[in-house]
Each structure stands twice: as C-alpha cells, then as structure tokens.
Structure 1
C-alpha cells in the first residue's frame, strides 16, 4: 500500500541528563550491543553453511546430485534469513517483511528445485551470507574493543589496587623497557585514565548505532521482499483502495439521490397529479399546489447541482484549481487566505483529488477547529504538487480517530500521495498533502 503517515510526536523530555550522557545505559544501546555480539556466531554458521553447500553443489553439478545440494544450500540460507529478520526485529526494532514465497510451477520435487533456484530472493540470501560475515567480524571486533576498554578504564579507580596487591606493580603499565617503566598509579594518572575511559564509554553507543544501521540496511536490502515485489503488492493494495473508494462514492451518490432529489421529485409528481385533478373544480388550490411544486423543483435542482459539484465541479473542469479552490474557500465559515502557484494545470485525476482533499479539510475547519483564520497554499516542486492548509484553531486532529483524515490518506495513497497531519492540542493545525506532479 502506498505510504501515508502522520509525524511522530515525541513526549516531552523528562530526563535530566542529556542524551549523550545517558546513552551508555539506555536499553537501545544494550540491545544493539547484543545484536552485534550475537551476530558473529550467526554469521560464522551462515557463512560456513553457505560456502560448504555452494562449493559442494558446484563441484557436483557434473552430476544431477549437485542441483539438489545447491538448492538445499539456498533453502538453508532462507532459513537463516528468517532468523536474521527475527533478530533484527527483536533487538534493532527493524521490521522487515518476509520475501516472496517460493512458487513451484507444478507438483513434484523438480518443480520445487526449479522454484528455489529461480527465486531471486534465494540468491539475495546467499549474497547476504557472504557479505555479512566480514562485516560481522569487523563490527564484533570494534564493538567489543570499545566497550571493554571503555568500561575497564572508566572503572579503573575502583580496581587499580589489584596491581600492587596481586601483581607486584603500581598499576597498569603504560611503558616499560630495561631501564625504566611507567605505571598509571598516582591519583592524577588514575583520574586521567578514568576520563579516557569515559570518552570511550560515551562514544561506544554512537559507534554501535552506526554499525547496526549498516546491519539494518543489509537486512532490509537482501533479506526482505524485492523492490519489484513490494511495488506490485503496493499497486495491488492501491487498486483495492481505489475500488473501495469508488464503491463508497457510488453508494454515497445513490443515497444522496434517493434521500434528496429523488424523494423531492416523487413528491413533486404526486403534487402535480393532485393539482391536475383540482384544476377544473378548484383552480385556486391547483394554482397554489403548482406554486409549491415550483419551489420543490428549485430545491431539487439545487440539490442536484450540489451533488454534481461534489462529484466533479464544473468550475474545476473549466477554470482549474485556482478558481475552484477560491470558490470553496468562500464557502468556509472561517476566513481563508488562498495562495496558488502552479505553472500549468496537473492531470484531471490529480486536480480532482487535490480539490476533494482541500474541500474536506476546509469542511473540517468549519465544523471542528473553532479557528479565526486559515491559510491554503498550493504550489509545486519538480516532482510533487503540494497542498498545505493551516488554521489557528484548537488542534487535536488525529487520523487515528474517525474516518475523515484516514480516508483522505487512503485516497492520496492510491496515487502515491502522502498526508501529514501536525495538530498538537491547543493548535495550530497544519495539514500537508503531497501528490505526484503530473501535468
């Protein structure tokens, strides 16, 4: 499904210590350290399995035995991939979807072997096994060195007494030859050692963060679904959203016609029938009933015009977004300042979704915001059409509550658009819609 999101709003920082000082003790740091430490044995096992099975399979390819051996090796890599995705999700909070499943062309072991060998995901898992091993060795060595040296030096004032008591020397030997030796044994040297350890300890969390960022990229890029598969699934999801939205619009139009104009036209037909019956023996009553029917016709025409405007207003087709947005801005109960800066008109589909989005957001302002003023800005970048509506109301708009903003996000997502809602309690509310620019 196309991406749509609302910005994450962090809770007010209640910590007294800055992030740099509390990072060594945070749960995230310990999880990342655990990921790096457990990554080495997993990488060794995966690398040994991959090299062994691929080498054996390649060597036996002259016989038919090599094909199933190679396929078994790839299946094992996929199994390790499941473990790696679970490990990344648990320790790094990196959620990676499983790759596309194997799709044998028919029953039987030969079809299964063909599906394994033809699967791009299987070979990406093999690449991961070969690439991740040297990276895991490097990450493990760097992380364990920084971590152990940092904490050892930082806590040196607590355990330096071990050297004079058990080793027969004043402290850690910094330098020594046949003529003289330098030990870290006086208060100034012990304090300097602890400060060096503090620097290492404070740097270690950020080092771990950088190392595990690379791990996350490897897991996402090689162990998840391919970009083509993800795009196909996204388009299928978007197609479902478009179908559901179109069906909902048709139901709304049917309901509006049935409950509005159709009901008025039925009453109008009945009224004109009664007026026809009274035309000869009670012309005054008939004239009054015709006058009432005339009023019903005007009301029905207005409802039909409003319904047509809600589907696709004529002003949008004839004059474009500038005029159409100016028209709906005048209907808003809050004064709206409108700014439109477009070099050309976008495609009708993008125009329609932009108009619908602006109309719904202005209706929300009229109904819920208690604002005194609003602004509507429409502009374009080289690749996107940007719509931003801001009001000075009470805020608190949440796409998670109700269906209005969530429905808008789904409509935008169907054309690869994005809806961003920033509405803290007390306001102001800023809603930004980003659509692809198609002229």
Structure 2
C-alpha cells in the first residue's frame, strides 16, 4: 500500500485540531524523520559496500576473477536492497514489489554469473547504493537542522534568561562587530517574535520532512522495484491466464448448455419420432399427435439454439452495432432500462463484444439481485477509451470482492487494459462504470 500521495489525513474522526497543528506530533512525521535518521548509517554501509565491490572487481579483472566477484557483489547489493524495501514499507508506507529474479539461461557457475550481470535490477540496486548516500546525508542534515532550529526558537522564552545570567549579554546575538555593537534578542518583543518564527518553522517541519522523504520514495520505487517492462510482462502473463481461464469456462458453459438443453431435447425428439413412426400404420391419429408434439419440441430446441448462439455472439451486434444490440438486451431485462449510446463510429469488434457482454452481465445482476425499479445504460467515447455506465435505483451493496461475479468481470476487463469501478452504498443507488480501450 503506497499512501505517499496524501501527506496527512485532513481530520481524523473525532479530532477538531487542524492538520497543520497536529502534523508535528503525528506518527507519520516521526516515522519519516526516523527514516531519514536511519538512512545515514544504512546509506553509508551501502555506499561503502558498492565502492569496495567495484574497486575490488576492477582490480581483479586482469586475473578474470573480477567478473564473478562483481556478480557476487551485485547479489549482495540486491540483498541490501531488500532491507531498504522493508524499511520503506515500515516507515514510509511504500510497498514496492520485489524485482524480477535472476534466471540463468544455462546451468553452472558461468550461467549464473552471466544472468546476474545481464540483470538490470542488479545494476539498479548498485546504482541506488551509490546515489542514495549523498542524498541521505543531505536530507538528514537539512531536516535535523531545520527542525532543531525551529524547536529551539519556539521555546526561546524558556531559555533566554541564560544569556544575561551567564554570558553578560541581554539575549541571543544575531550579529556583532566585536566592539560591543550588535543586535540581541533580549527585549520582550524580540523574544516573542523569535518564538513566533520558531513556531512557523516547527509547523513547516513535517512538510519539509515529507518532501525530503518523497525523494526516497522515488528512489526506492524507481531503482529497487521491478522495471516497468518486467511489471508489464508479469501483468500480461497474468492477464493471459485470466483470458485462458475465461475462454475455458465459456467453452464448458456452452458444452453444458448444449448437453443439458438442445442436445437432450433433440434426443427426446428422435425417440418420439421413432415411436410415431411405429404407430403410423396401426394408429394414425396417435402418430399425428406425436408428430405435432415433436413439432413443438423442434421449435423449442431451435429457440434454445438461438439463445445459445446469442450468448456466444449475437447476430444483431455484428450486423447493426452496439446501440441496437444493447437496446435488444435491455428489452429482455426484468426491469425497465433506458439505453443511451453516443458513438460516432464502431470500436474494434473484440472491444464491442466485450462491451456487450459486460452490459449483459451487469443487467443480469440488476434483474437478479438489485431489486430495482429502473435502470439506465450509457455508452460514450472519451479520447481513446470506450465508457460504459450501468446504474439502477436498487438496494445497493454490490462489491468486487473475491468470489463475486463483479470480481470476475473486473478481471476480464483488466485482461484487455480495461477498468471496472463500482459505487454501491447500502440502500443504493448503484453505479458501475466500465472503461475499455477503443481500438477502432
């Protein structure tokens, strides 16, 4: 969980103290300051380690031992990076995933060494060790000085008496020429103004600390986490798995519908026609009745096959597009549905199909679970995205938690770089927004 986008919550429940006055005493401020404090020894260790590894490897290159030494040093840098990610997670609320692992392309020591040296994540860890030290030193010194001066000036009225008591001067000296001329913070007005300046510095201190730790967050995310390419590859692998699972589930559903529906009905129809054929000679009227019943069964089987074909890909969607297809879909819903489609042209066929089945599933949820009196479907295009909004005035309480139908729908949309957002408070109303790439 990365909560760095919000420095401090505006008002905790039950708190009437403004955020600016609470910030110097908040747990987040002191965790961030502790991170800056611990960064100095940790960055010193990592910087010294990186310099030693690079120097040793460079010195041993002439003997060819430098290459495995450098590989071992990179592995050590990755280990230190693990500690840094844990520290950032605990103190900065930055949850950075582990980088892509080292995968040797061939067995043996040299295969492992080659894989480590080719790993961009390993080199980024080494670069972090070199770059973080000067920043950590600067950030700690600046934050400590800024806040220490602020607190010292804030409480100046409590220790201003020490100057006339022990140094024979009226107060803290701001400047002097060495000949007894200077400016001292000794009058009540000067002491009060000094304390006021200290208060401003103390109140600004948490924001200064937060700004400094933002750089640490950027360094950790950018250098110690997986590369954008590796993250994208992992995301695509996950999405491919979702697509494969969804396709397999759809095939099983079609097979089940055929087996339990049209196929069973056609088998029964064949048996009825066989009996009618046997009775044709001895009881033509009974045979005619059986043929009439079989004719009704044929119509029912044809309707089931049409429904099944519509569930695979409706012909109206192919022939006339998303607007008429959604209107036909809304007509079969158990509650009145108003459909508004504002598209100047049709998106890609695959996206159009996903949009249709998304609305279909959402309207099924409205029919089965929402207890709604009416619903609306809005479809429009924004830049290169196709937007769908299905809303109803039902009881609410819909969610995308694991195991729910909406969770599966969200995964399917994510597999094509789509997005599903559900707003459904208890008592309603419910609004479900789906976003898909246009790909026209």
TM-score between the two structures when normalised by the length of structure 2: 0.90
Cα gap change, 1:102 to 1:304, in 2 (>3 Å): same
Aligned to 1:122: 122
String of CA shifts for 1:223-246, please: whole Å, max 9, x gaps. 112222222211111111111101
What residue is the counterpart of 2:246 in the other structure? 245
Once structures 1 and 2 are overlaid, which stretch shifts more, 84-93 or 103-112?
103-112
Q: For structure 1, which runs of at least 5 residues remain unmatched after alignment? A: 1-9
By relative contact order (CA 8 Å, sep 6+), the higher-ranking structure is 1
Q: Which residue of 1 aligns with 2:230?
A: 229
1:266-345 to 2 correspondences below 5 Å? 266-345=267-346
- TM-superposed deviation, 1:321: 0.9
Instruction: Give the aligned partner of residue 5 of structure 2.
Output: none
Q: Does 1:370 align with 2:358?
A: no
Q: Name the structure 1 match of 2:104.
A: 104
Give the structure 1 partner of residue 145 of structure 2.
145
Aligned counterparts of 1:176 and 1:95: Cα–Cα separation in 2: 52
Describe the shift of the 1:289–1:116 C-alpha distance in structure 2 as closer, same or farther (beyond 3 A): same
- How far apart, CA to CA, are the structure 1 residues paired with 2:253 and 2:203? 60
1-side partners of 2:55 and 2:389: how far apart?
58
Write the deviation string for residues 33-58 of structure 1: whole angstroms up to 9, x where unpaired.
Answer: 11121112211211122122212322
Which residue pairs with 1:426 in the alignment? Answer: 427
Residue 254 of structure 1: aligned partner: 255
Partner Cα separation in structure 2 for residue 171 and residue 334 of structure 1: 81
How big is the shift at 1:162? 4.9
State the Cα distance separating 1:420 from its structure 2 match.
1.3
Tell me the residue number matched to 1:400: 401
Q: Distance in 2 between matches of 1:373 and 1:71?
A: 65
Kindly provide the CA deviation profile for residues 374-416 of structure 1, in whole angstroms up to 9, marking residues without a partner as x: 3322222332222122223332211116421011111111111
Give the stretch that moved more between structures: 30-39 or 364-373. Answer: 364-373
Q: TM-score, normalised by structure 1?
A: 0.90
How far is 1:164 from its partner? 5.2
Does structure 1 conserve the Cα–Cα contact (< 8 Å) formed by 2:393 and 2:430? yes
1:73 corresponds in structure 2 to: 73
- Give yes or no for the alignment of 1:44 onto 2:44: yes
Match of 2:7 in 1: none
Show structure 2 runs of 5+ residues with no match: 1-9
The CA distance in 1 between the partners of 2:244 and 2:228, in whole Å, is: 24
Match of 1:6 in 2: none
Q: Secondary structure at the match of 2:386?
A: strand
Task: Map 1:341-352; keep pairs closer than 5 Å.
Answer: 341-352=342-353
Write the distance in 2 (CA, Å) between the matches of 1:268 and 1:38.
80
* Displacement of 1:12: 8.2
Mapped partners of 1:368, 1:241: distance in 2: 25
Q: Return closer, same or farther for 1:333/1:207 CA change in 2, 3 Å cut-off.
A: farther
Distance 1:158 1:375, change over 3 A: farther
Aligned length: 430
**RMSD across aligned C-alpha pairs, in angstroms?**
2.4
Matched with 1:26 is 26
| Distance in 1 between residues matched to 2:140 and 2:412, nearest whole Å | 46
Secondary structure, aligned partner of 2:376 = strand
Supply the distance in 2 between the matched residues of 1:62 and 1:160 (Cα, whole angstroms): 65
